[in-house]
């Protein structure tokens, strides 16, 4: 609460504070963008990820495993994927071993849920 109040005091809105990516998202941002309408890069754009199923972002070439999974990106499914991508969606191409710290994984998921 104190951090939010300090940031708001220097000109950021409370919504901007809430939507700021956590430090834990830094590794994700090397491959994923989170801006509405932005072209995907190495990985698909994650804006609105919680409103879709795995392997469905337009104009992104997904692995067969990701396309076939049909996994709805709920908070629970996102957390499982962030923590262990290969176990959650076998055959996906994401070169990331997973975020083993549950608190950091939850921070990533909470951030993704703000991208609407």
Break the chain into its structural domains and give their ranges: 21-114
pLDDT tens by residue, 28-64: 999 999 999 999 999 999 999 999 999 999 999 999 9
Closest CA to 42 of 20, 60, 67, 24: 60
pLDDT tens by residue, 87-105: 999 999 999 999 999 999 9
Residue 20, pLDDT score: 79
Class of domain 21-114: mainly alpha
19 pLDDT band, cuts 50/70/90, is: low
Closest CA to 20 of 116, 99, 114: 114
Alpha carbon separation from 41 to 22, 38, 44, 46 (Å, rounded): 20, 9, 6, 11
């Amino acid at each position: 609460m104190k951090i939010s109040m300090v940031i708001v005091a220097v000109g950021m809105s409370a919504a901007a504070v809430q939507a700021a990516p956590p430090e834990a998202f830094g590794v994700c941002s090397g491959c994923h963008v989170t801006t509405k309408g932005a072209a995907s890069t190495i990985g698909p754009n994650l804006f609105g990820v919680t409103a879709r199923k795995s392997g469905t972002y337009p104009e992104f070439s997904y692995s067969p495993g990701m396309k076939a999974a049909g996994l709805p990106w709920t908070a629970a499914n996102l957390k499982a994927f962030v923590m262990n991508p290969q176990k959650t969606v076998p055959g996906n191409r994401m070169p990331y071993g997973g975020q083993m710290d549950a608190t950091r994984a939850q921070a990533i998921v909470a951030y993704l849920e703000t991208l609407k």
